[in-house]
Structure 1
Amino acid sequence: MTTISRTFTVTPQPQVVLDYLKDFSHATEWDPGTESCTRRDSGPVVVGSSWDNTSKIAGVSTELVYELLELTDAKVVFKGENETASTIDDITVLPHEGGSEITYEAVIEMKGAAKLATPGVKLLFEKIGTDTEEDMTTVLNRL
C-alpha cells in the first residue's frame, strides 16, 4: 500500500472548493494523469455517484471506476478501482485565512501480480502528487 499526502492553501472558500471537487469529472482539469472522466449516472452529485476514469501513468493507460463514498461540509472521499489497483482519495477542505486549506491524501493499493511494483509505485506517485497539488491549486484559484 502506498500513501501520498499533500496540504496546501487556495483562495476560494471551502464550500466553493467542495462544490467543485465533489464532481470527479473535473479531474481532467486538475489530475495530470486523467485523460477522461465521465459520469456514469445523472442528477445531483451525491454519495454513490460514479465515474469512468481513464488515466495514463508512466505511459500506461488504465481505466478505473470511481465512486463518491463520502460528502460532508469539510470532506469528499472517492474510491477508484479496477482489477489491478484500488485507490481512496480523501480530500479535506477547511477554512484558512479567508480561503481554504486542502489536505489531499491518496492511498493506492496494488492487486495481484501488480503488487510486485509497489516500491516503484511510491516514487511515481510522489511525483504525481506534486504535479496534482500544483494543478489543483491553479484550477481552484480560478474559481
Structure 2
Amino acid sequence: MPTVTRTVTTPAPLDVVRAYLRDFGNAPEWDAGTITCEPVDPSAPVTVGKQWTNVSEFRGRQTTLTYTLEADEPTRLRIVGRNKTVTSEDEMTFTGADGGGTTVSYTATFTFHGAAKLATPLMLPALKGLADDAERSLGAALQKLPTA
C-alpha cells in the first residue's frame, strides 16, 4: 500500500480550512489530478456518508472513483474513494499554525486491486509526483481562503 504525506500551511483559520476541505466537491480547485467532483446526491448535507463522483487523471488516463466522507471530526477528515481497480484513502488533519492560521497534513494511501496490484511498485514514482502536484495546488487554493 503506497502512502504519501504532504503538509501545507495557510493563514486561514482552522474552521474555514476544514469547512472548505470537508466538501469534497471543492477537489477540482485544490487537487491537481481531479477533473470533476460532483455530489452523488446534491441535496444531501455534507456529513459522514456523503458521496461524490470524482473523475481524475493519473498517468494520462482518466479514472472515476466514488468518494465517501467516512470521518468528520474537528481536527480530522477521512474521505475514501473506491472503484474496482483502487481504493484511495485520504486523511487530513488540522492543527493551529505558529503565528495563526492552519497546518494541514494530508496523507493518501492507495490500495490497488486485481491486476493493478501487480503494478504497485511501478506506480510509486508517479504517486509521489501526484502528491507533489497536489501539495502545490492544495497550498495555492488554501492561500485564497479568507483569513478572518
Q: TM-score range by the shorter chain?
A: over 0.9
Deviation sequence 1:20-62 (CA, Å, 0-9, x none) = 0001011101111111100012232000000000111111111
> Sequence identity of aligned pairs in percent?
37
Secondary structure, counterpart of 2:44 in structure 1: coil
Secondary structure, counterpart of 1:43 in structure 2: coil
- Do the aligned partners of 2:44 and 2:50 also contact (CA within 8 Å) in 1? no
Letter in 1 for 2:25: S
**What is the CA-CA distance between 1:8 and the residue it aligns to?**
2.2
Match of 1:56 in 2: 57
Secondary structure, counterpart of 1:64 in structure 2: strand
Instruction: Select 1:127's aligned residue among 118, 126, 129.
Output: 129
Letter in 2 for 1:117: A
The runs of at least 4 aligned residues of structure 1 exceeding 4 Å deviation read none
Q: Between Structure 1 and Structure 2, how many residues are aligned?
A: 143
Match of 2:28 in 1: 28
CA distance in 1, matches of 2:79, 2:139: 19
CA distance in 1, matches of 2:3, 2:142: 23
Match of 1:96 in 2: 97
CA distance in 1, matches of 2:122, 2:93: 27
Match of 1:3 in 2: 3
Deviation sequence 1:73-132 (CA, Å, 0-9, x none) = 101110100000001100001111200111100000000000111012111111111111
Instruction: Select 1:116's aligned residue among 115, 118, 125.
Output: 118
Task: Give the TM-score, by structure 2 length.
Answer: 0.94
Secondary structure, counterpart of 1:48 in structure 2: coil
Q: Which range moves more in the overlay, 81-90 or 113-122? A: 113-122
- Do the aligned partners of 2:25 and 2:39 also contact (CA within 8 Å) in 1? yes
CA distance in 2, matches of 1:23, 1:55: 17
Instruction: Select 2:141's aligned residue among 121, 131, 139.
Output: 139
- Do the aligned partners of 2:8 and 2:138 also contact (CA within 8 Å) in 1? no
Q: Which runs of 5+ in 2 are unaligned?
A: none
